[in-house]
Amino acid sequence: MEYMSEEPNLLWKPADEIKQQANLSSYMHWLQQEKDVHMETQAELWDWSVNHLEDFWASIWQYMQIQASEPYTQVLASRQMPGAEWFVGARLNYVEQVFRHATPDRPALLFRSETGPLQEVSWQELQHKVGAVANGLKALGVGVGDRVVAYVRNNIEAVIAFLACASIGAIWSSCAPDFGTKSVADRFQQIEPCVLFATDGYRYNGKLQDRRSTVAELRQALPTLRKTILIPSIYEAPDLTNDADMLLWNELLASDTTLTCTQVAFNHPLWVLYSSGTTGLPKAIVHSQGGILLEHVKFLHLHMDLKPEDRFFWYTTTGWMMWNLLVGGLLVGSTILLYDGCPNYPDIGGLWNLVQEAGITVFGTSAGYLTACMKAEITPGQTYQLTQLRALGSTGSPLPPEGFRWVYQAVKQDLWLASISGGTDVCSAFLGGSILLPVYAGEIQTRVLGAKLEAFDELGRPVINTVGELVLTEPLPSMPLYFWNDPQGKRHRESYFASYPGIWRHGDWIELTSRGSAIISGRSDSTINRKGIRMGSSEIYRAVEDLPEVVDSLVIGVELPDGAYYMPLFVVLKDAQPLTEDVSKKIKTKLRSTISPHYVPDAVVAVHEIPRTLSGKKLEVPVKKLFMGLPLEKVVSLDTLSNPHAFDDFIRIAAQFRTTNGSAVSN
């Protein structure tokens, strides 16, 4: 690997040895030898993959040696969206693909909590425990298509429970224990589960969080439950003599350990994930066993370059799709690390210390964590031994160019930085890394293979080097089968296909560059449209948060009844300093000089925190709706936020604004 300094935006390019050892290179060589398909570059490979969908996905099936008890008769029976039919006739099981990699040479799982030692789980132990829990579930009457839900920590038991569930053809769904009762009930009630896995509590940032009362409330809120399986984590196991509807985890582990994987159709549901639910009931998104299996082996093997000898870690909880993707590391034989705790415990370098301790080779985190480390001016490369770390992943929000540069200055020069962007909707990425390509500051390296992604202008035409709507014009196997309790598919169509019938609109602004990379400019549904000029919020954030005084920021644009437009910028200042006229002027000057006078806000307002979802996304649209006069209960579900108290400032400021300007909407 080489560190580049001759071009200001070119930060890294792979050495020839890295290219030769890359999974992508092996795959292209295989295509040449086995399929007589010749490609020399990533761009040529992507072009072939999206213009020959059937051939591409059939090659992934064969190259990754997908096990199936019955072969498919057709790769893609229908290309329409929604409703594409993939790998018709195939019968398989996700869990079989996991355990075909079982080996005594490497552990399957690593786990650490905030306070405990690093634990290892062998492939054999994992397989035996998955078999025991699967047989225990079957003894409880759980079968194909039944829903099993989990209110659990990101730990070993969570992975075992999920794999056990998938192995018998049941449908999994999980929430992290930092979700409140209403938030969890809003999700789980939709799918009528028969079994609940639950934890009694967890530790976060050094503090004990008791969840026993929440579990009791959930049991009352989920009338379809037949059993609750308690996983004692913090407290001693309770006496269940008088509670016939609850079992202890160890009782399941006492079952027969023989693992038998039930064969299911390619499009049989694997799990239900949920949209953020910041407004309205969360969408219950159903993904298929086969679709997720193929998408994850493709993305993790080819785009994250994961190999069996890798130790793979992404900081996540069981309530974020990155947990599902992390578990997918087992599909390619990698060892995965589970961490249950705060990323900043005992200090902001906590995750870097964990990377050192566990010998992580591929480390994924959020852009927010990386920018927080940058703001804190830490130097992980000097403080920790990161010699084994070869790749760093970033997602959750756009990583600004300054964040890219900080990685190469403060973490490691010989490091591949793979920024990715996708969504819960497909439980994967549309845009991601390629270890064959250089890394440019602020840019995602490539569109992922098999994803026919375009940027559409206002007339629905593909554009290059211009910001447009992120759309997919061809189907992916991991697109939702459907939404639960949406029998006519109305909500499903409205979510993705209302703007362009038959074409997936994701809701992001994107610029595709002439060299094949991409820049995400924020959510298109929170677009700033000032004097007819549309702009994404991320450019503003990059400029403002580059100032040493600013820790975080949020911008909105509000259409007023008289036709005027109000664009305030909210900032969180370092060390809770007061907002002075000098700082406000400095912010406006920065935006005027580095971007455009159109980006200068009408007001700069200091707040204590920027409200974010549990996965770290800024809540621009709910804040905008507050200023438009909508009440808080119609704007956001506070249970879905990582910091619900952050709305206190915005409620007060929005009320003052409406008193002065009047409501922007009719109540």
pLDDT tens-digit profile of 388-446? 999 999 998 788 899 999 999 999 999 999 999 998 999 999 999 999 999 999 999 99
Task: Name the residue with higher pLDDT: 111 or 627.
Answer: 111
Give tens-digit pLDDT for 337-371.
999 999 999 999 999 999 999 999 999 999 889 98
On the question of pLDDT at 663 being above 70, the answer is no
Q: What is the pLDDT of residue 8?
A: 72
CA atoms lying within 13 Å on the CB side of residue 556 = 19
Q: Cα angle vertex 594, ends 592, 596, to 5°? A: 45
Q: How sure is the predictor about 563, in pLDDT bands with cuts at 50, 70 and 90?
A: low
Q: What pLDDT does residue 284 have?
A: 95
Predicted pLDDT at 91: 98
Instruction: Tell me if 331 sits within 8 A of 297, measured CB to CB.
Output: yes
- Return the percentage of the chain with pLDDT > 70, whole number: 95
Q: According to the model, what pLDDT value does residue 665 have?
A: 42
CATH class of the region 527-661: alpha beta
- Which range, of 202-211, 225-234, 308-317, 656-665, averages the lowest pLDDT? 656-665
Phi and psi torsions of 346, nearest 5°: -80, -5
Q: Is the pLDDT of residue 6 over 60?
A: no
pLDDT-wise least confident of 128-137, 470-479, 535-544: 535-544
Q: What is the pLDDT of residues 584-617, one digit of tens each?
A: 999 999 988 877 777 889 999 999 999 988 777 8
Please state, rounded to an integer, the average pLDDT across all residues of the chain. 92
The pLDDT score that the predictor gives to residue 534 is 61
Q: Is 282 left (phi over 0), alpha (psi -120 to 50) or beta?
A: beta
Q: Is the pLDDT of residue 542 over 60?
A: yes
The burial of 240, by beta-carbon neighbours within 10 Å (0-12 exposed, 13-18 middle, 19 or more buried), is given as: middle
Q: Which two tokens stand for residue 481?
A: 């089968």
- For residue 527, is pLDDT > 80? no
Out of 127-136, 566-575, 638-647, least confident range: 638-647
pLDDT band at 279 (very low <50, low <70, confident <90, very high): low
* 123-265 and 527-661, same CATH topology: no
The yes-or-no verdict on residue 477 having pLDDT over 50 is yes
In the predicted structure, residue 148 carries a pLDDT above the cut 50:
yes
Residue 120 has pLDDT above 60, yes or no: yes
How far is residue 574's CA from residue 105's CA, in Å, rounded to a whole number?
Answer: 48
- Looking at residue 251, its pLDDT comes to 95
Q: Is 394 exposed, middle or buried (0-12, 13-18, 19+ CB in 10 A)?
A: buried
Query: pLDDT at position 1, please?
Result: 45
pLDDT of 507 reads 86
Percent of the chain with pLDDT over 90: 76
- Report the distance separating Cα 350 and Cα 343, nearest Å: 6
Q: Where are the domains of the chain?
A: 2-101+293-454+475-481, 123-265, 527-661
pLDDT at 87 over 70: yes
pLDDT of 656 over the 60 cut: yes
Distance CA 89, CA 57 (A): 15
Q: Is the pLDDT reported for residue 163 higher than 90?
A: yes
At 476, is the pLDDT very low, low, confident or very high (cuts 50, 70, 90)? Answer: very high
Q: How far is Cα 39 from Cα 330, in angstroms, rounded to an integer?
A: 29
Question: Which two three-digit tokens encode residue 381?
Answer: 């490369």
Is the pLDDT score of 123 beyond 60?
A: yes
Name the band, by pLDDT with cuts 50, 70 and 90, for residue 562: low
pLDDT at 162 over 80: yes
Contact 471, 506 (CB under 8 A): yes
Q: What is residue 255's DSSP assignment?
A: S
pLDDT at 521: 78
The answer regarding whether domain 2-101+293-454+475-481 maps to CATH 1.10.357.10 reads no
pTM for the full predicted model: 0.86
Q: Which fold has domain 123-265?
A: Rossmann fold (3.40.50)
Residue 2 has pLDDT above 90, yes or no: no
At 601 the pLDDT is 92
Q: Express each pLDDT in 231-260 by its tens digit.
A: 999 999 998 888 999 999 999 999 999 999
663 versus 421: the higher-pLDDT residue is 421
Give the C-alpha separation, 495 to 499, whole Å: 9
What are the helix (H) ranges across 100-236? 123-139, 156-167, 181-191, 212-221
With cut-offs at 50, 70 and 90, classify the pLDDT of residue 478. very high
> Of the candidates 367, 363, 366, 365, which has an alpha carbon nearest to the alpha carbon of residue 388?
363
pLDDT in tens, 97-108: 999 999 999 999
pLDDT reported for residue 3: 46
Distance between CA atoms of 662 and 226, rounded to whole angstroms?
52
Query: For residue 310, what pLDDT is reported?
Result: 98
Q: How far apart are CA 297 and CA 61, in angstroms?
A: 9
User: What pLDDT shows up at residue 636?
Assistant: 83
